[in-house]
A and B are shown apart, each in its own frame.
Chain A
Amino acid sequence: MKRSELVIAAFCFAACLLVPLVVRADYNLQVLFRVFLFAAMGLAWNLVGGYTGQLSLGHAAYFGAGAYAMALLPPLGVPIWLALVMGIVAAVAFAALIGGVSFRLRGPYFVLATIAFAEVLRLVAKNLPNVTGGDVGTQVPSLFTHAISRSFYLAAVVLTAAAFGITVWVSRSKFGYYLMAIREDEDTALSVGVNTARVKLEALFLSAAITALGGALYGSLFLFIVPDQVLSLDISNEIAIVAMLGGAGTVLGPILGAVVLETASEIFKSVFHEAHLLIYGLLLVVVVMFLPEGIVGTVNSWLRRRRAALAAGARPQARRVSTP
Chain B
Amino acid sequence: MDAFFSALQAILNGLLTGALYALIGMGMALIFGVMRIVNFAHGTFLMLGMYATYFIFVKTGLNPYFGFILASGFLFCLGYLVYRVLLRHMPVQSDFMQILLTLGLALIFTDAIQLTFGADYHQINLPLLAKNVHLGSHISLNAPWLVSFALAVVLGSGMYWFVMHTMIGRAARAIAQNPYASPLVGINVHRVQAVSFGLGVAGAGIAGGLLLPVFYIYPTVGDQFTLKAFVIVVLGGMGSIQGAAVAGLVLGVVENLTSLYWGNEWALAVDFVIFLLVLSLRPSGIFGSQRV
Contact = CB atoms under 8 A, between A and B. Distances in A.
Contact of A289 (B32, B90, B95, B268): B90
B111 A281 contact: yes
A284 B101 contact: yes
Interface stretch (A38-46, A108-116, A250-258): A108-116
A285 to B, nearest CB: 4
Interface stretch (A26-34, A118-126, A138-146, A212-220): A118-126
Interface in A287-309: 287-290, 292-293
B290 to A, nearest CB: 12
Nearest to A283: B104
Contacts of B95: 55, 107-108, 111
B97 interface: yes
B272 A116 contact: yes
B89 interface: yes
Nearest to B97: A288
B272 A101 contact: no
B81 interface: no
B100 A241 contact: yes
A74 to B, nearest CB: 27
A219 to B, nearest CB: 22
Main secondary structure of the interface of B (DSSP, over half): helix
A244 B100 contact: yes
Interface residues of B, number: 41
Interface string A236-263: 0100010010000000000000000000
Interface string A97-109: 0000110110111
A108 B38 contact: yes
B107 interface: yes
Interface residues of A, number: 41
Contacts of A116: 227, 231, 272, 275-276, 279
B173 to A, nearest CB: 19
B100 A288 contact: yes
Nearest to A245: B100
Interface string B85-124: 0100111100111011101111110111011000000000
B24 to A, nearest CB: 16
A127 interface: yes
Contact of A104 (B99, B112, B272, B280): B280
Contact of B268 (A105, A107, A113, A123): A123
Contacts, number: 118
B167 interface: no
Nearest to B265: A127
Contact of A237 (B36, B103, B279): B103
B100 A287 contact: yes
A120 B92 CA distance: 31
B115 A274 contact: yes
A284 B100 contact: yes
A175 interface: no
B107 A278 contact: yes
B180 interface: no
A312 B166 CA distance: 53
Contacts of B106: 281
A108 B112 CA distance: 28
> Interface centre among A55, A280, A285, by most B CB within 10 Å?
A285
Contacts of B269: 119-120, 123-124, 127
A112 B90 contact: no
B241 interface: no
B279 A105 contact: yes
B188 to A, nearest CB: 23
Contacts of A108: 32, 36, 38, 95, 99
B168 to A, nearest CB: 24
A112 B234 contact: yes
A282 B100 contact: no
A104 B280 CA distance: 8
B227 A119 contact: yes
Contacts of B32: 108
A121 to B, nearest CB: 9
Contacts of A107: 95
A104 to B, nearest CB: 7
Given A127-B269, A285-B101, 17 more contacts: A105-B280, A107-B95, A108-B38, A111-B38, A111-B95, A113-B276, A116-B279, A120-B272, A123-B268, A244-B100, A281-B105, A281-B106, A281-B111, A284-B107, A289-B89, A289-B90, A290-B91
27 contacts: A101-B279, A104-B280, A105-B280, A108-B36, A109-B279, A111-B95, A112-B230, A113-B279, A116-B275, A120-B272, A123-B272, A127-B265, A274-B111, A274-B114, A277-B107, A277-B111, A278-B115, A280-B104, A281-B104, A281-B105, A281-B107, A284-B104, A284-B107, A285-B101, A285-B104, A289-B86, A289-B101
Interface of A: 55, 57, 101-102, 104-105, 107-109, 111-113, 115-117, 119-120, 123-124, 126-127, 237, 241, 244, 274-278, 280-285, 287-290, 292-293
